[in-house]
Chains A and B, each alone.
Chain A
């Protein structure tokens, strides 16, 4: 039956073609797994390729699946570097043993102590501040002070929050636990829930919209969502307030990266990581998403700087990973959905 033979031949050909891409990845000089998105990573990759002549391959997914993938691939992994958002994810990757320590004077100089793993398995590369956004028609900023004070009975029916399932809020509550202890932190979260103007939203942008529309008067969001929103709606009656300036400072988290334990191109990965922390790359890394550079020698973009200076919480961001499970349990108990 010649038709069947043709069919089998085509099938074999198709299967061969299908397995080609993996050979292509083998040929790359540096392979990245990233949960920071392609359009934020790509300009950096292209700049570094142009500078060094290296061939870089990368793939994106959420952090947890990428970590599971690294675990499954073990010592045969094609990946050299894991780039992800949120210290909790980096902490989890380190704990699962998929990252290896990097001793680099360059990284020690460029990345502040509290924004990197105490055991040097990951390094923060950009800073994301989580702060208070308020409706300027409804709130006198003089009456705002701390995250905890958002639970003040005066704000009953005024507060808007994103879901407790988002890691940014889990980190924020982890920071509260680190500051106040679990009992006091739970009280605070309960007081937030009592003040909610609407059930928690699924995104920061929805929180900002609802603050603008007057559903509530204030909310807690990352600054880059605020920046993006204002770029589109420059006349919105919104402003941000930096809380905890008299105490711990504004809650900040990082996006960061670490070198994979079984990286086939470890040297290239370390060099790339060092470059990412350098003044040359830091603005590109942070500005693409309106974040703050981690390197103290680098200034944020003018747009970001216009939101004002603030003191940031100096607690080591690894704490957010350690206390994440406690924070989630606490929020579940407090009825924060």
Chain B
């Protein structure tokens, strides 16, 4: 196994011998990628089909009065979030993954927790905390009746960027930390033996090696930022997404909304392309054993500033908003809480669990097909299958619902002609919900699995084949242990994402299948944010469990890869 070789990874030319073998096209595999991409393709066709119904008047108005502003705002937002999540995610990932300092073990998983906080909840909570009547400004006023000028205005571009970054940085953190853990240590050791200082070793060795994983996390962050509606509308910050909803809810034109949404698809494709291009001629591999030996031990003020940075981020991104939610929940508890909460929670967890299994399997299948087939069809299928993440949820929900209802109606009509009565097979069933989640979160599962698979080089396969492991045996005995962490990452990310998902859940849920986000929607859409604190808090708590599981599993890392060969 390569995990013991201790050779530093480097970018090598991709043309190696096994590539010739892979060039052989396996039609069956391509068929699989096609099947996985099909539901998303249907939704995209419906959304793109909106161009058949031009809406020149709305476009004219939007181009003149709306799009210039929202384009600027969206660019600022995406740029700001990308930069700050990278800084936070990589910085904290290096601290907990590559260094040692007091409290490291605790912060390793604690810093993941903000992920369980939906951005729209964080947005509302932060406004509640910093508004004129909120605790922060009230306290300042109590100290000094003339409100000091330097109180930051949360309802600003900086405020939106901060709030979204604080909920999304865990994506980058998780990927970056994983990369530093599995391959940083030995390489950094090597660099330091050759005379580099710890920081130089980080910038010259660890960081460049972690690049594809950081990029994978960042890609998810950018797509989620593009699609965000909840958080930006709480700040009344106009972005491309709010323009899409203006066309739909305001001008009553789903067609125009879908047309604007299609532009987001193009942006997502460009971002994807950039990411692929940036590592087109590189190959990354697992280098060196991971583990405790290689950590940079911080001492003195360095150690404590490490602890302080982690504590600060943890407090701002998790402790403070959670405390605010707890305070509100205590007020609303008597009004809100009843036995139904157990059902809401159970349904949320069941759906998220089922969806996670389905999505992880699909992601694994797709990642394998793409690994073995570098042809154009597979590349296109992969790209299509992962596009759902960049679309605003409600638009995508309609894109899913229309073809599903169309199919149901066809079947019901056919049954009717045969003199049979039947109900819908898809619409109104949890099966459609799972399908909808698959379409939306494929990118998340695929990103994590693919990042893991990238590490298993062709030489591992070669070695295994020489030893007689092929097909399923190769997969189960050799790849599976090496992919454990990647699969877990995928599972947790998907699970938490599904748990938080609102618009698709609203549209596709069967009668009576209310979940926690549905409850939050009900209360917030009537402006009752404080009452929504209880379901929001339950959601955060439900999200904590898998996050802790994940971190525990990645902490007890060593030896996992050794059973195979």
Chain A residue contacts of B354, Cβ below 8 A = 14, 18
Whether B155 is near chain A, meaning CB under 8 Å from some CB there, is yes
Chain B residue contacts of A22, Cβ below 8 A = 423-424, 427-429, 510-511
The interface bits of chain A over 1-45 (1 if a CB of B lies within 8 angstroms of the residue's CB, else 0) are: 000000000000011001111111110100100000111100000
A18 touches B127 (CB 8 A): no
A206 touches B127 (CB 8 A): yes
Q: Report Cα–Cα, A325/B235, bound state, in Å.
A: 23
Interface residues of A in 38-73 (CB under 8 A from B): 38-40, 57-65, 68-69, 72-73
A329 touches B427 (CB 8 A): no
Interface residues of B in 124-162 (CB under 8 A from A): 127, 131-133, 155
* A-B CB contact pairs (8 Å), 22 listed: A15-B431, A19-B425, A21-B429, A21-B510, A22-B511, A24-B511, A24-B512, A25-B510, A37-B522, A60-B522, A61-B507, A68-B254, A68-B402, A76-B412, A163-B236, A202-B234, A202-B236, A203-B527, A204-B527, A210-B131, A332-B61, A332-B65
Whether A275 is near chain B, meaning CB under 8 Å from some CB there, is no
A69 touches B233 (CB 8 A): no
**Closest residue on chain A to residue B423 by CB atoms:** A26
- Least Cβ distance of A96 to chain B in Å? 8
Ordered nearest first, which 5 A-B pairs have the shortest CB separation? A21-B510, A18-B430, A72-B405, A22-B428, A213-B132
A64 touches B248 (CB 8 A): yes
A23 touches B423 (CB 8 A): yes
- Least Cβ distance of B32 to chain A in Å? 17
Q: Report Cα–Cα, A78/B512, bound state, in Å.
A: 14
A39-B522, A289-B526 known, 10 other contacts, Cβ within 8 Å = A19-B431, A22-B427, A65-B394, A72-B401, A72-B405, A73-B405, A202-B235, A203-B527, A205-B529, A328-B246
B507 touches A69 (CB 8 A): yes
- Least Cβ distance of B327 to chain A in Å? 14
Pick from A28, A74, A78, A206: contact of B131, CB below 8 A. Answer: A206
How big is the A interface, by class?
35 or more
A76 touches B408 (CB 8 A): yes
Whether B26 is near chain A, meaning CB under 8 Å from some CB there, is no
Whether B56 is near chain A, meaning CB under 8 Å from some CB there, is no
A25 touches B511 (CB 8 A): yes
Asked whether A209 and B405 contact (CB < 8 A) given A23-B423, A57-B511, the answer is no
Q: Report Cα–Cα, A63/B249, bound state, in Å.
A: 8
Pick from B131, B155, B503: contact of A209, CB below 8 A. Answer: B131
- Least Cβ distance of A229 to chain B in Å? 10
Chain B residue contacts of A60, Cβ below 8 A = 506, 518, 521-522
A65 touches B406 (CB 8 A): no
Chain B residue contacts of A39, Cβ below 8 A = 522-523
B65 touches A329 (CB 8 A): yes
Asked whether A73 and B423 contact (CB < 8 A) given A18-B429, A19-B429, the answer is no
Whether B398 is near chain A, meaning CB under 8 Å from some CB there, is yes
Whether A274 is near chain B, meaning CB under 8 Å from some CB there, is no
A61 touches B506 (CB 8 A): yes
Chain B residue contacts of A170, Cβ below 8 A = 250
B509 touches A59 (CB 8 A): yes
Count of residues in B whose CB is under 8 Å from the partner chain: 61
Q: Report Cα–Cα, A63/B397, bound state, in Å.
A: 14
Whether B525 is near chain A, meaning CB under 8 Å from some CB there, is yes
Whether A184 is near chain B, meaning CB under 8 Å from some CB there, is no
Chain B residue contacts of A69, Cβ below 8 A = 398, 401, 405, 507
Chain B residue contacts of A62, Cβ below 8 A = 249, 394, 506, 525
Whether B251 is near chain A, meaning CB under 8 Å from some CB there, is yes
Whether A272 is near chain B, meaning CB under 8 Å from some CB there, is no
Q: Report Cα–Cα, A72/B523, bound state, in Å.
A: 27
Interface residues of A in 146-180 (CB under 8 A from B): 163, 165, 167, 170
A212 touches B133 (CB 8 A): yes
Most chain B CB within 10 A, of A20, A39, A202, A228, is at A202
A325 touches B251 (CB 8 A): yes
A165 touches B66 (CB 8 A): no
Whether B343 is near chain A, meaning CB under 8 Å from some CB there, is no
Most chain B CB within 10 A, of A18, A96, A209, A212, is at A18
- Least Cβ distance of B468 to chain A in Å? 20
Whether B382 is near chain A, meaning CB under 8 Å from some CB there, is no
Whether B514 is near chain A, meaning CB under 8 Å from some CB there, is yes
Q: Report Cα–Cα, A58/B423, bound state, in Å.
A: 17
The interface bits of chain A over 263-305 (1 if a CB of B lies within 8 angstroms of the residue's CB, else 0) are: 0000000000000000000000000010000000000000000
Chain A residue contacts of B423, Cβ below 8 A = 22-23, 25-26
Whether B238 is near chain A, meaning CB under 8 Å from some CB there, is yes
- Least Cβ distance of A128 to chain B in Å? 11
Q: Report Cα–Cα, A215/B506, bound state, in Å.
A: 36
Q: Report Cα–Cα, A123/B61, bound state, in Å.
A: 32
Chain A residue contacts of B307, Cβ below 8 A = none
Chain B residue contacts of A325, Cβ below 8 A = 250-252
**Closest residue on chain B to residue A38 by CB atoms:** B522
Asked whether A215 and B236 contact (CB < 8 A) given A22-B423, A23-B423, the answer is no
Most chain B CB within 10 A, of A39, A170, A209, A228, is at A39
The interface bits of chain B over 497-520 (1 if a CB of A lies within 8 angstroms of the residue's CB, else 0) are: 000000100110111111000100
A65 touches B503 (CB 8 A): yes
Whether B434 is near chain A, meaning CB under 8 Å from some CB there, is yes
Whether A92 is near chain B, meaning CB under 8 Å from some CB there, is yes
Q: Report Cα–Cα, A74/B412, bound state, in Å.
A: 12
Chain B residue contacts of A228, Cβ below 8 A = 527-528
- Least Cβ distance of A262 to chain B in Å? 11
Chain A residue contacts of B529, Cβ below 8 A = 203, 205
Chain A residue contacts of B506, Cβ below 8 A = 60-62, 65
The interface bits of chain A over 74-104 (1 if a CB of B lies within 8 angstroms of the residue's CB, else 0) are: 1110100000000010001001100000000
Chain A residue contacts of B155, Cβ below 8 A = 198-199
Whether B538 is near chain A, meaning CB under 8 Å from some CB there, is no
Asked whether A38 and B65 contact (CB < 8 A) given A22-B424, A22-B428, A213-B132, the answer is no
Interface residues of A in 181-210 (CB under 8 A from B): 198-206, 209-210
Asked whether A28 and B527 contact (CB < 8 A) given A64-B248, A72-B406, A165-B250, the answer is no
Chain A residue contacts of B2, Cβ below 8 A = none
Asked whether A337 and B514 contact (CB < 8 A) given A65-B397, A206-B127, A328-B250, the answer is no
Whether A320 is near chain B, meaning CB under 8 Å from some CB there, is no
Chain A residue contacts of B511, Cβ below 8 A = 21-22, 24-25, 28, 31, 57-59
Chain B residue contacts of A68, Cβ below 8 A = 254, 398, 401-402
Whether B409 is near chain A, meaning CB under 8 Å from some CB there, is yes
Whether A324 is near chain B, meaning CB under 8 Å from some CB there, is yes
B434 touches A18 (CB 8 A): yes
B65 touches A205 (CB 8 A): no
Q: Report Cα–Cα, A215/B133, bound state, in Å.
A: 10
Asked whether A225 and B527 contact (CB < 8 A) given A14-B354, A76-B409, the answer is yes
- Least Cβ distance of A117 to chain B in Å? 15
Chain A residue contacts of B526, Cβ below 8 A = 37, 40, 289
**Closest residue on chain B to residue A31 by CB atoms:** B511
Chain A residue contacts of B518, Cβ below 8 A = 60
Pick from B133, B401, B406: contact of A213, CB below 8 A. Answer: B133
- Least Cβ distance of A113 to chain B in Å? 24
